[in-house]
């Protein structure tokens, strides 16, 4: 069940009515409704995978209590290891088993050893990487005495399976989200309106920008042999906006839906493409994941409190794991390595510059360029495809500045130059919206003037209706991670 589908609209309307008008007087019944509805929402794809969420939730609920009750540090550590074993074990089997078997087979063949290891036709459960990390952070925090073990099983299970952010985050921490299940929630009109605004922006990002751009990006990246120069460069830049609008669009909708239910989720994106460095980029991109790896991988390894060599190693390890989290493919590892080495270079050779428009623009441009080059590995289906794309990227780059040649080439994938212009205009509108949201003056005018405000809402709604409805039901990119 997708946020951008008719089924979800019907599901949420029934849920919303029941939540606020039938079960609103009893918080335990509200939490039970959230849990049952979240399981129904997830089972819509494949009910069999519900057992994985139940196993993960049950394991960490019981282990959290056990860790708190145990006094012996060794036994506490064993309980934590059991939690890691169960959660990461499920993740490894369903997401990485075939990857390891394939590479093990290649190594044996290089050694002239014959083997026939069995591959398993495994369907990757939707959202497994997200809810696994969310529940893991709970047991780690209980072990480190950052939070107390949760005793209310219904609210804990609802926390793990909370449907607005179950499939693609944000990856919430237990200390932020769990307490909200224990407090009686009252409908707040202003909070709900802000949620509706986020949902509208999220749908615009996904259905109007990301899905339209995919019509250009997907054919080119699926057939890199057929394109040289400008089409590949354009597809690479467009993919940067496609994945941002797709993923941040999901996050906006998730946060907005949660606000309609009286919950506050963390911000997951903060205009990352306006970052002036890779360090800033990772402060603003997929914030819930980057802070997760910082808190549970980078800092436990020693963080910045050790020698430079070890710190650099910790950065590489963290970003390799981050890349591997995204998928069982060498391309994701390379993507993570590029960002890791880029941060190391930045830490060693960066120096403070005065803020002015020209320098800031150059820093933003250079950061965006590095991010786009790294996206080539992220988007490519294989390592050989990514190398091919790099080789073809700047070949005859000026050849397609000729309108007739460009028109002919893009008609091969069923597009006209007007489709490219339309996507560019959508991206410009996105940039205007995001820059405006950072300006207090513009936001004050927007919030105080009803005509301007509702004109903006209706304009975005019209764009969704006319340029987004034909894509309704398209999967979100991060559903596969």
Query: What residues are annotated to the active site?
Result: 326
DSSP state of 394: T
Opening angle at CA 335, ends 104 and 252, nearest 5: 120
Provide Rg for the chain, Cα atoms: 24
DSSP state of 473: T
Provide the token pair at 7: 């089924």
**CB-CB contact of 250 with 478 (8 Å):** yes
Report how far residue 177's alpha carbon sits from residue 282's, in angstroms, rounded to the nearest whole number.
23
Report how far residue 420's alpha carbon sits from residue 215's, in angstroms, rounded to the nearest whole number.
10
Report how far residue 443's alpha carbon sits from residue 421's, in angstroms, rounded to the nearest whole number.
28
Report how far residue 55's alpha carbon sits from residue 91's, in angstroms, rounded to the nearest whole number.
12
Short-list 30, 2, 32, 35, CA closest to 16:
30
Report how far residue 231's alpha carbon sits from residue 55's, in angstroms, rounded to the nearest whole number.
47
Short-list 246, 302, 240, CA closest to 4:
246
Phi–psi pair at 72, nearest 5 degrees: -80, 125
H or E element in which residue 161 lies: helix 153-161
What is the chain's length? Answer: 481
b/e sequence 433-450, b meaning 16+ C-beta within 10 Å: ebeeeeeeeeeeeeeeee
Q: Helix axis angle, 417-437 relative to 450-467, nearest 10°?
A: 150
Provide the token pair at 224: 């890199």
Phi–psi pair at 380, nearest 5 degrees: -65, 145
H or E element in which residue 15 lies: helix 6-17
Q: Helix axis angle, 230-260 relative to 403-411, nearest 10°?
A: 60
Short-list 34, 416, 32, 105, CA closest to 260:
34
Provide the token pair at 170: 């944000």
Q: CB under 8 Å to 161, separation ≥6 — which residues? A: 35, 38, 39, 42, 53, 57, 131
Opening angle at CA 376, ends 370 and 380, nearest 5: 165
Residue 29, CB-side half-sphere exposure with 13 Å CA sphere: 10
């Amino acid at each position: 069940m997708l946020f951008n589908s008719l089924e979800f609209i019907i599901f949420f309307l029934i849920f919303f009515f029941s939540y606020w008008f039938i079960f609103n007087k009893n918080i335990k019944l509200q939490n039970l409704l959230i849990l049952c509805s979240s399981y129904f929402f997830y089972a819509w794809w494949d009910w069999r995978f519900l057992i994985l969420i139940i196993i993960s939730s049950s394991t960490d609920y019981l282990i959290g209590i056990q860790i708190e009750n145990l006094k012996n540090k060794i036994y506490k550590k064993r309980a934590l290891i059991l939690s890691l074993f169960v959660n990461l074990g499920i993740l490894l089997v369903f997401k990485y088993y075939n990857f390891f078997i394939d590479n093990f087979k290649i190594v044996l063949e290089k050694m002239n050893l014959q083997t026939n290891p069995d591959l398993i036709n495994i369907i990757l459960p939707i959202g497994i990487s997200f809810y696994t990390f969310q529940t893991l952070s709970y047991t780690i925090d209980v072990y480190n005495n950052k939070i107390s073990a949760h005793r209310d099983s219904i609210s804990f299970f609802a926390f793990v399976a909370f449907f607005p952010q179950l499939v693609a985050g944000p990856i919430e921490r237990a200390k932020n989200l769990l307490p909200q299940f224990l407090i009686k929630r009252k409908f707040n009109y202003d909070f709900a309106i802000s949620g509706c605004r986020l949902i509208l922006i999220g749908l615009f990002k996904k259905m109007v920008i990301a899905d339209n751009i995919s019509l250009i990006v997907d054919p080119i990246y699926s057939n890199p042999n057929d394109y040289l120069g400008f089409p590949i460069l354009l597809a690479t830049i467009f993919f940067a906006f496609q994945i941002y609008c797709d993923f941040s669009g999901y996050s906006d909708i998730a946060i907005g839906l949660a606000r309609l239910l009286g919950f506050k989720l963390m911000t997951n994106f903060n205009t990352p493409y306006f970052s002036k460095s890779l360090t800033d980029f990772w402060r603003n991109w997929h914030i819930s994941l980057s802070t997760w790896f910082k808190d549970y991988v980078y800092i436990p390894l020693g963080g910045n409190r050790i020698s430079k060599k070890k710190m650099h190693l910790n950065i590489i390890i963290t970003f390799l794991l981050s890349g591997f989290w995204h998928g069982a493919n060498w391309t994701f590892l390379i993507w993570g390595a590029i960002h890791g080495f880029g941060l190391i270079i930045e830490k060693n050779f960066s120096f403070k510059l005065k803020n002015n428009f020209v320098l800031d623009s150059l820093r933003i441009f250079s950061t965006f360029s590095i991010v786009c080059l790294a996206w080539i590995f992220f988007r490519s289906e294989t390592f050989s495809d990514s190398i091919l794309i790099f080789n073809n990227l700047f070949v005859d780059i000026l050849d397609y500045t000729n309108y007739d040649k460009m028109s002919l080439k893009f008609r091969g994938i069923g597009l006209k130059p007007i489709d490219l212009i339309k996507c560019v205009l959508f991206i410009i509108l996105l940039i205007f919206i995001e820059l405006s949201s950072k300006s207090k003056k513009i936001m004050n005018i927007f919030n105080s003037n009803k005509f301007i405000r509702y004109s903006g809402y209706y304009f975005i709604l019209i764009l969704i209706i006319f340029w987004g409805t034909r894509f309704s039901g398209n999967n979100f990119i991060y559903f596969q991670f």
